[in-house]
Amino acid sequence: MNSNWFKIFLRLNKISYGKGLLLKGIPVIFSKSGGKLSIGNNVTINSSFLSNLVGLSQRTIIVTRTPEAKIRIGNNVGISGTTIYARNSITIGDNTLVGGNTKIIDNDFHPVDPDVRLKTPHANMGIRSIEIGENVFIGCNCLILKGSKIGDNSVIGAGSIVSSEIPANCVAAGNPAKVVRYLKIYKEKV
């Protein structure tokens, strides 16, 4: 089911999206007043159990949580049952595929220090932007944490946890994700 009626809610919530947005199921997409959330052209967001046969455990959730937060999703991106939660900034480049049940989160949700957490549970948490390059493939059930940078053309293996920089043109996997091998990139001659 293509949830075209949901696009009305996106417009009312001042979320910009390009041509060809395909919503399968009903995602949770919300931008805090003042936040910026943009979705490029030809993006597919899978949010129903049958929209991705890897087995989605949730609908897609895309949220800017603060007035300063920014999420930019490029053109030709595919997202399946993924949480994208920003307090600062998350950028996903063109032609990127995000596997089922992945979480992309630019903050710790709460302070790490137990005394601070008791006194101010929603302040003093770690927050750093996330940058995901172009033509990246992120396998299912991955966790992309604050401060992560993933270079163009890279592959993140299923179930990996990324918490640092992954260079371009490589396969990275594990907890924490490490480069497994580099890819040869072939360019067509015109």
HEC letters along 167-179: CCCEEEECCCCEE
Q: Which of 170, 143, 178 is nearest to 158 (CA)?
A: 143
pLDDT number for residue 140: 94
Is-above-0.75 flag for pTM?
yes
Q: Which of 147, 169, 106 is nearest to 156 (CA)?
A: 169
17 within a domain of the structure (yes/no): yes
Q: Which residue range(s) make up the domain with 89?
A: 6-182
173 within a domain of the structure (yes/no): yes
Query: Is residue 132 a contact partner of residue 145, using CB atoms and an 8 Å limit?
Result: no
Between CA 50 and CA 48 the distance in angstroms is 6
Half-sphere exposure of 156 (CA within 13 A, CB side): 37
Q: Where do we find the tokens 């603060």?
A: 66
62 within a domain of the structure (yes/no): yes
Active site residue 110: yes
pLDDT number for residue 129: 97
187 within a domain of the structure (yes/no): no
Q: Report whether the peptide linkage leading into residue 176 is cis, meaning its omega lies within 30 degrees of zero.
A: yes
pLDDT number for residue 12: 82
188 within a domain of the structure (yes/no): no
Q: pLDDT of the chain along its 190 residues, tens only? A: 456 678 888 888 889 999 999 998 889 999 999 999 999 999 999 987 665 656 677 889 999 999 999 999 999 999 999 999 999 999 999 999 999 999 999 999 887 888 888 888 777 788 899 999 999 999 999 999 999 999 999 999 999 999 999 999 999 999 999 999 999 877 665 5
87 within a domain of the structure (yes/no): yes
Which CATH number fits the domain that encloses residue 74?
2.160.10.10
Helix, strand, or coil here: 73? strand
Between CA 53 and CA 140 the distance in angstroms is 11
48 within a domain of the structure (yes/no): yes
pLDDT number for residue 51: 58
Annotated catalytic residue within 110, 117, 128, 149: 110
Burial of 190 (0-12, 13-18, 19+ CB in 10 A): exposed
Q: Which of 49, 72, 71 is nearest to 60 (CA)?
A: 49
189 within a domain of the structure (yes/no): no
Domain total in the chain: 1
